[in-house]
Amino acid sequence: MQFPDDDNGQLLSEIAAAGVDLTQMHSIDFFILFEQKADAERFMSAISADELAPKTKLDTCPDTGVWEVITSVTMVPDHQLLTQTEQYLESMANGHEGYGDGWGILAE
């Protein structure tokens, strides 16, 4: 498989090389970070009401210690769809003082 030469393409290439079938549906976790818990909670309420991403979880980021909202979306991990979803979630997060911190697939 060929992937675009960007961060998402690189990650997809690594995931495919690890043996994950990228033609199947997967639960993709998108990570959104917030300095303030109240901002994270407001974003979580807004995104939980969205049909795209009804499953969210609030935690602290193990790398930075800031608040992290993990939004899980079930989709086929297509580069264009991943990029569009990431941009959409980040645009919503920006209105709540948050910023995107990438995505990942929990492979079995």
Does an H or E element contain 73, and which? strand 67-75
Reported as a single tens digit per residue, the pLDDT across 35-74 is 999 999 999 988 888 777 778 899 998 888 899 999 999 9
The reported pLDDT for the residue numbered 106 is 77
| Rounded Cα–Cα distance for residues 41 and 108 (Å) | 30
Output the DSSP codes for 1-29: ----SSHHHHHHHHHHHTT--TTS-EEEE
| Rounded Cα–Cα distance for residues 61 and 102 (Å) | 12
What is the pTM assigned to this prediction? 0.90
